[in-house]
Amino acid sequence: MRDHLDDAIDNELLRPHFEKPSRKITKSPYLTDKNVSKRWKELNQPEVQSQLLDSHTQSQMDAYSKNIEHFIGTVKVPVALPDRCVLMVYSLKTIS
């Protein structure tokens, strides 16, 4: 039974897809205020936009201009300092 399910899943993943591809929100990948506005207008998600394209992100957009295509914003990731004990154990392991 398991083999049959695995084969069915593999066949589904490997079959050709002839569906019409999803439409592009903007053709231009470049980061300009106009393009970012067009993308958010098409997405029509103001509550998400306020989180991903906050004032700080908007003021820093130029920093991403040569690195990110189809930019719509940034995601904030929490960062913490490691526990001192963890650092001591790690340094002991690397010395050994």
Measure the CA–CA gap between 30 and 26, rounded to whole angstroms: 10
**At CA 64, angle to CA 62 and CA 70, rounded to 5?**
110
Measure the CA–CA gap between 4 and 14, rounded to whole angstroms: 15
CA-based max dimension of the chain: 57
pLDDT at residue number 56 = 96
pLDDT at residue number 84 = 72
Residue keyed to tokens 């001591």: 88
Low-confidence ranges of the chain (pLDDT < 50): none
Q: What is the residue extent of each domain of the chain?
A: 23-77
Question: pTM of the predicted model, to two decimals?
Answer: 0.61
39: tokens are 């993308």
**Residues 21, 27, 31, 32, Cα dihedral to 10°:** -140
